[in-house]
């Protein structure tokens, strides 16, 4: 497969507000037709970065290349980029149709073309029955679709979405995640979504970037980031991780109680340095076979039944925090465990990730 074309290149972009650095030298390539997620805790600079892509903020330093052309200083109304606002920002005095037509009227297109393009996008977003309503007469999910239609009808090169599902309740959010992905596929527009919800970006994104304190920590596919986090922060932020603090050795980490955790040690880590070994809850097995590289015993402190799986909190001598272990429904049925039970845990060296502390 040939390498997909780069649509947007963010080149060493920084943004300072007075003495505060919101975005600190970020470089990223966003490819044609991909669903890209900017993920990070609040205050990580993801919204500032998005606003620079939309044109509402100018970078203090660096370039933003769209199709190879620097647009860093182009005003928002002159760039083929549209933003779907977190608050949706629908015009309250205009009907759904007028809201969606607005952007095309600004392009001074013929009335007939505006009408047919608006009709088409209203059909795609299932808004036809609501075309004459005012925003205040719509539900949250409908407003979200109007905001999306209003941006998509412009056929931008790049659609930016600022926490698009933040205002929806949990159930609707799940449905809209799939809906957004379907729409993105259908219209063939590159989406860049900003979110603080790691699950959301794992589900939706083709590739994602994890940001913290204005810096880029890692940029890759959700699978690669989940399985091979770049550092301890990413490991903790994406999904759930069990951490075992200790000191690095040649072939793993020596925990505080002297137990040896086998795993691949990064080259940068010198033996004796503070380090953490980590393992995902779903990689831990109950009652492992004798040849499993890493084994420990613990006491079940709590059980949480989730239908699909059973989550155990197991107190072990390896770390001050209890381990979280996910047992599939199958395994739980074969050998039931109860709160207070002594259990054996085990996991392979290949499932261990080791980071500098």
Does 296 bind another protein (CB under 8 A)? Our answer is no
Residue among 83 and 300 whose Cβ is closer to another protein: 83
Pairing of strands 61-66, 6-17: antiparallel
Q: How many CB atoms lie within 10 A of CB 328?
A: 12
Residues touching another protein, count (CB under 8 A): 29
Q: Which region among 84-92, 112-120, 297-305, 323-331 touches another protein (by CB under 8 A)?
A: 84-92
Question: Which residues ranging from 132 to 171 are in contact with another protein (CB under 8 A)?
Answer: 132-134, 136-137, 150-151, 154
Q: Which region among 25-33, 87-95, 118-126, 231-239 touches another protein (by CB under 8 A)?
A: 87-95
Does 110 bind another protein (CB under 8 A)? Our answer is no
Question: Which residues ranging from 227 to 256 are in contact with another protein (CB under 8 A)?
Answer: none
The tokens for 94 are 């205009």
Taking each helix axis from N to C end, the angle separating 111-124 and 170-187, rounded to the nearest 10 degrees, works out to 130
Nearest-approach distance from CB 130 to another protein, in angstroms: 8
Nearest-approach distance from CB 120 to another protein, in angstroms: 17
R_g of the chain, CA atoms, integer Å? 24
Question: Which residues ranging from 16 to 55 are in contact with another protein (CB under 8 A)?
Answer: 54-55
The tokens for 143 are 């407003």
Residue among 3 and 136 whose Cβ is closer to another protein: 136
Does 131 bind another protein (CB under 8 A)? Our answer is no
Residue among 83 and 216 whose Cβ is closer to another protein: 83
Does 207 bind another protein (CB under 8 A)? Our answer is no
H helices present in the chain, as ranges: 46-54, 96-106, 111-124, 140-152, 170-187, 198-204, 222-227, 232-237, 329-334
Residue among 122 and 208 whose Cβ is closer to another protein: 122
Nearest-approach distance from CB 51 to another protein, in angstroms: 9
Residue among 84 and 219 whose Cβ is closer to another protein: 84
Residue among 133 and 313 whose Cβ is closer to another protein: 133
Out of 25, 76, 141, 174, name the contact with another protein by CB under 8 A: 76
Q: Which residue has the tokens 């805790």?
A: 41
Q: Which residue has the tokens 């047992």?
A: 327
Residue among 150 and 207 whose Cβ is closer to another protein: 150
Nearest-approach distance from CB 91 to another protein, in angstroms: 6
Nearest-approach distance from CB 85 to another protein, in angstroms: 5
**What is the per-residue burial (b if ≥16 Cβ within 10 Å, else e) of 280-299?**
bbebbbbebeeebbbebebe
The DSSP 8-state label assigned to residue 291 in this structure reads T
The tokens for 226 are 């989940």
What is the arrangement of strands in the sheet containing 342-347, beginning at the earlier edge strand?
285-286, 342-347, 294-305, 309-315, 323-328
**Cα 355–Cα 234–Cα 302 angle in degrees, nearest 5:** 90
Nearest-approach distance from CB 192 to another protein, in angstroms: 14
Q: What is the dihedral of CA 123, 125, 130, 132, to 10 degrees?
A: -70
Q: Which region among 73-81, 170-178, 240-248, 333-341 touches another protein (by CB under 8 A)?
A: 73-81
C-alpha distances (whole Å) from 9 to each of 30, 62, 85, 152, 154 are 6, 11, 22, 22, 22
User: What is the phi-psi region of residue 92: left when phi exceeds 0, alpha when psi lies from -120 to 50, beta otherwise?
Assistant: alpha
Does 103 bind another protein (CB under 8 A)? Our answer is yes
Residue among 113 and 333 whose Cβ is closer to another protein: 113
Instruction: Give the chain's count of helices (H) and strands (E).
Output: 9, 20
Residue among 126 and 301 whose Cβ is closer to another protein: 126
Residue among 75 and 336 whose Cβ is closer to another protein: 75
The footprint of another protein (CB under 8 A) covers 54-56, 75-77, 82-83, 85-87, 89-93, 102-103, 106-107, 130, 132-134, 136-137, 150-151, 154
């Amino acid at each position: 497969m040939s390498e997909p074309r780069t649509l947007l290149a963010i080149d060493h972009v920084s943004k300072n507000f007075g003495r505060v650095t919101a975005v600190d030298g970020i470089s990223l390539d966003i490819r044609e037709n991909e669903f890209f997620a900017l993920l990070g805790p609040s205050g990580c600079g993801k919204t500032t970065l998005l606003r620079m892509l939309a044109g509402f903020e100018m970078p203090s330093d660096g370039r933003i290349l769209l199709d190879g052309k620097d647009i860093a200083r182009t005003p928002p109304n002159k760039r083929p980029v549209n933003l779907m606002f977190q608050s949706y920002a629908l015009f309250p005095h205009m009907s759904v149709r007028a809201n969606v037509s607005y952007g095309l009227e600004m392009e001074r297109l013929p009335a007939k073309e505006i009408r047919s393009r608006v009709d088409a996008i209203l059909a795609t977003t299932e808004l036809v029955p609501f075309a004459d309503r005012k925003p205040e007469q719509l539900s949250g999910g409908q407003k979200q679709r109007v905001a999306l239609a209003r941006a998509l009808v412009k056929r931008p090169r790049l659609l930016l979405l600022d926490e698009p599902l933040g205002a929806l309740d949990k159930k609707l959010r799940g449905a809209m995640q799939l809906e957004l992905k379907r729409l993105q596929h259908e219209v063939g527009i590159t989406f860049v979504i900003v979110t603080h919800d790691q699950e959301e970006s794992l589900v939706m994104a083709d590739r994602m970037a994890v940001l913290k304190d204005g810096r880029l920590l890692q940029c890759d596919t959700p699978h690669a980031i989940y399985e091979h986090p770049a550092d301890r922060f990413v490991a903790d932020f994406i999904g759930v991780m069990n951490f075992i603090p200790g000191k690095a050795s040649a072939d793993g980490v020596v925990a505080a109680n002297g137990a040896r955790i086998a795993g691949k040690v990064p080259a940068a880590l010198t033996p004796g340095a503070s380090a953490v070994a980590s393992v995902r809850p779903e990689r831990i097995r109950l009652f492992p076979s004798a040849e499993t590289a890493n084994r420990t015993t613990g006491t079940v402190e709590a059980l949480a039944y989730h239908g699909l799986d059973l989550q155990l909190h197991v107190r072990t001598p390896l770390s001050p925090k209890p381990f979280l272990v996910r047992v599939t429904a199958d395994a739980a049925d074969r050998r039931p465990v109860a709160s207070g039970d002594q259990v054996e845990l085990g996991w392979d060296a290949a499932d261990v990730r080791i980071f500098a502390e």
